[in-house]
C-alpha cells in the first residue's frame, strides 16, 4: 500500500507547494488538513479549494476556535502564562489543538504519515512531532522543508512551473504565525536585533503613540474565566475577540523580545497579543485579591513550569496535566470584577470587587475602624527574625 500523508495546511506558499512536492519526492498521496484557530485572513473554504487545486486527494477544514479558546487559551489565562515573563505562548498554545485534528484526520483517512511546514530550527517542529507521537505512536512525521529540501527558491520555482493557484509575489518577507491568542512575526530585517520593528508589521494593534481617548472596561471572572465584559455575557472565545479589539485599538500587547528556543538558539520575535495581555493583567490582579498568600506565591512557580512545558512542546505530558489540575484549584476562588483602563499601549487595573476577596478593609485601614491589633507585631518580629539573627551573630563571632 502506498503511503498516505496528512499535511497540516495553512494555505500559504510553503504548504501549498508541499502537497505536490511530497507526491513528487515520495510518491505518497496527500490529504490537506487546515485548522481554524482564529487566525483570520482568508476564508477557510478558499483554503480548502486551494489544497485540492494543488493536488491534494482530500481536503478538510476544522473549525477549532471554540475548542482552542476553552481548552487551551483558558488554561493559559488561569496560569497567567508568559514565557520569559512576557510572551503569552501564542504559537505554542495552538500546536496541541492542531495536533489533535491532524491525528483524527490521519485515522479517518487511513494515513500513516503526518507532515507539517516547519523548518528544522524552530520550536514548532518539536511541538508537532512530540504531540503527534504522544497521541498516535504509530504515525510517522515528515517536514518537507527540513527533510525533503523544500527551500524557498525551490518552492517559488515549483509553484510557477506547476501553475499553482498561489501568488508567489505576495509572500511576506516575514515568517508570521497567528491565532486568536496573538500574532508572532520573525525573520527578515528583524534578524538584526538592533533594528526596531516598523509600524507596518503590526496588524492586531494600533500604534500606541497615536493620540486617542482612553477606554475603560469591566471584566467579570468566574473561577478564573472571563464570563462578562461590561456586564454582557461572553464565551471564552468572545472574551478574547472583544478584548483583542478593544485593547488592540489602544495599542496594548506589543512585545519585542529575544527568546530562548527549545533547540538552543536565541531568536528575536515581535508579538502582538492585545486581548491576552489585557486579560492576563486583569486576571493576575484578581488573583492578588482572592488567593491566599502562600498559595499565590507557590503557584507563580507552578505557572512558570506550566508555561515552559507548554513552550517546550510537552502539552500532553503527565506533569503538564497535573500542574493544570493544580492551577484549576488555585482558580477556584478567582471570581469577581476588575475595572481597567486601556490607553497608550497599557492595560492598567483601576478597581477590583469580589465576594471571594481576602482584602479586609478593617485590617488594612489606617483610618478609624482599624481591627488589627498592632501590639501583636512586636512579638512576631522578635520570633520572625530569630534564626537569621542567631546566624548573623555566629558569623560575626567566627569571621569577625
Task: Return residues touching ligand ARG (CB under 6 A).
Answer: 91-92, 123, 175-177, 184, 186, 269
State the nearest-atom distance from the C-beta of 204 to ligand ARG, in Å. Answer: 14
Which of the residues 63, 146, 147, 175 is marked catalytic? 175
State the nearest-atom distance from the C-beta of 355 to ligand ARG, in Å. Answer: 37
Which of the residues 10, 50, 80, 124 is marked catalytic? 124
State the nearest-atom distance from the C-beta of 19 to ligand ARG, in Å. Answer: 20
State the nearest-atom distance from the C-beta of 158 to ligand ARG, in Å. Answer: 21
Spatial distance between the Cα atoms of 24 and 44, rounded to a whole number of angstroms: 26
175 flagged as catalytic? yes
Q: Is 390 helix (H, G, I), strand (E, B) or coil?
A: helix
In the bound state with ligand ARG, the residue whose beta carbon lies nearer, of 29 and 269, is 269
CA-to-CA separations, 3 to 57, 60, 114, in angstroms, rounded: 13, 18, 10
CA-to-CA separations, 36 to 1, 71, 106, 180, in angstroms, rounded: 31, 15, 17, 10
167 flagged as catalytic? no
233 flagged as catalytic? no
Spatial distance between the Cα atoms of 383 and 386, rounded to a whole number of angstroms: 5
Alpha carbon distance, N-terminus to C-terminus of the chain: 82
Residues linked to residue 141 through DSSP beta bridges, in sequence order:
114
State the nearest-atom distance from the C-beta of 168 to ligand ARG, in Å. Answer: 18
In the bound state with ligand ARG, the residue whose beta carbon lies nearer, of 64 and 89, is 89
- According to DSSP, residue 367 is labeled S
Spatial distance between the Cα atoms of 140 and 7, rounded to a whole number of angstroms: 12
Q: Which three cell numbers stand for residue 193?
A: 536585533
Which of the residues 48, 50, 65, 95 is marked catalytic? 95
In the bound state with ligand ARG, the residue whose beta carbon lies nearer, of 268 and 352, is 268
Spatial distance between the Cα atoms of 325 and 312, rounded to a whole number of angstroms: 19
157 flagged as catalytic? no
Which of the residues 10, 14, 50, 333 is marked catalytic? 14
In the bound state with ligand ARG, the residue whose beta carbon lies nearer, of 263 and 391, is 263
In the bound state with ligand ARG, the residue whose beta carbon lies nearer, of 267 and 324, is 267
List of residues 6+ apart from 310 with CB closer than 8 A: 76, 81, 83, 89, 92, 93, 320
User: What residues act catalytically?
Assistant: 14, 95, 124, 175
Amino acid at each position: 500500500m502506498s503511503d498516505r500523508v496528512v499535511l497540516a495546511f495553512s494555505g500559504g506558499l510553503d504548504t501549498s507547494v508541499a502537497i505536490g512536492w511530497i507526491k513528487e519526492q515520495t510518491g505518497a498521496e496527500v490529504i490537506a488538513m487546515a485548522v481554524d484557530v482564529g487566525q483570520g485572513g482568508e476564508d477557510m473554504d478558499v483554503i480548502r479549494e486551494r489544497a485540492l487545486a494543488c493536488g491534494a486527494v482530500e481536503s478538510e477544514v476544522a473549525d477549532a476556535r471554540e475548542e482552542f479558546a476553552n481548552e487551551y487559551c483558558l488554561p493559559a489565562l488561569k496560569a497567567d502564562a508568559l514565557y520569559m515573563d512576557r510572551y503569552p505562548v501564542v504559537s505554542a498554545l495552538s500546536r496541541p489543538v492542531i495536533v489533535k485534528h491532524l491525528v483524527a484526520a490521519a485515522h479517518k483517512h487511513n494515513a500513516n504519515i503526518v507532515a507539517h511546514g516547519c523548518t528544522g530550527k524552530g520550536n514548532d517542529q518539536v511541538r508537532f512531532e512530540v504531540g503527534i507521537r504522544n497521541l498516535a505512536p504509530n504515525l510517522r512525521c515528515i517536514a518537507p522543508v527540513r527533510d525533503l529540501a523544500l527551500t524557498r527558491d525551490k518552492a517559488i520555482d515549483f509553484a510557477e512551473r506547476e501553475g499553482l493557484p498561489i501568488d508567489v509575489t505576495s509572500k511576506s518577507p516575514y515568517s508570521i504565525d497567528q491565532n486568536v491568542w496573538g500574532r508572532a512575526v520573525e525573520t527578515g530585517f528583524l534578524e538584526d536585533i538592533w533594528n526596531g520593528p516598523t509600524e507596518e508589521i503590526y496588524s492586531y494593534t494600533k500604534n500606541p503613540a497615536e493620540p486617542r481617548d482612553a477606554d475603560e472596561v469591566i471584566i467579570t471572572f468566574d473561577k478564573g474565566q472571563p464570563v462578562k465584559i461590561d456586564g454582557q455575557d461572553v464565551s471564552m472565545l468572545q472574551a478574547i475577540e472583544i478584548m483583542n479589539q478593544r485593547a488592540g485599538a489602544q495599542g496594548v500587547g506589543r512585545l519585542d523580545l529575544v527568546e530562548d528556543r527549545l533547540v538552543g538558539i536565541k531568536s528575536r520575535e515581535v508579538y502582538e497579543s492585545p486581548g491576552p495581555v489585557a486579560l492576563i493583567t486583569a486576571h493576575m490582579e484578581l488573583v492578588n485579591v482572592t488567593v491566599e498568600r502562600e498559595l499565590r506565591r507557590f503557584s507563580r512557580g507552578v505557572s512558570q513550569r506550566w508555561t515552559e512545558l507548554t513552550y517546550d512542546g510537552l502539552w500532553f505530558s503527565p506533569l503538564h496535566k497535573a500542574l493544570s489540575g493544580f492551577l484549576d484549584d488555585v482558580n477556584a476562588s478567582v471570581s469577581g470584577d476588575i475595572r481597567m483602563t486601556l490607553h497608550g499601549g497599557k492595560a492598567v487595573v483601576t478597581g477590583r470587587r469580589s465576594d471571594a476577596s481576602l482584602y479586609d478593609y478593617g485590617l488594612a485601614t489606617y483610618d478609624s475602624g482599624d481591627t488589627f491589633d498592632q501590639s501583636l507585631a512586636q512579638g512576631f518580629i522578635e520570633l520572625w527574625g530569630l534564626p537569621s539573627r542567631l546566624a548573623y551573630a555566629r558569623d560575626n563571632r567566627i569571621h569577625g
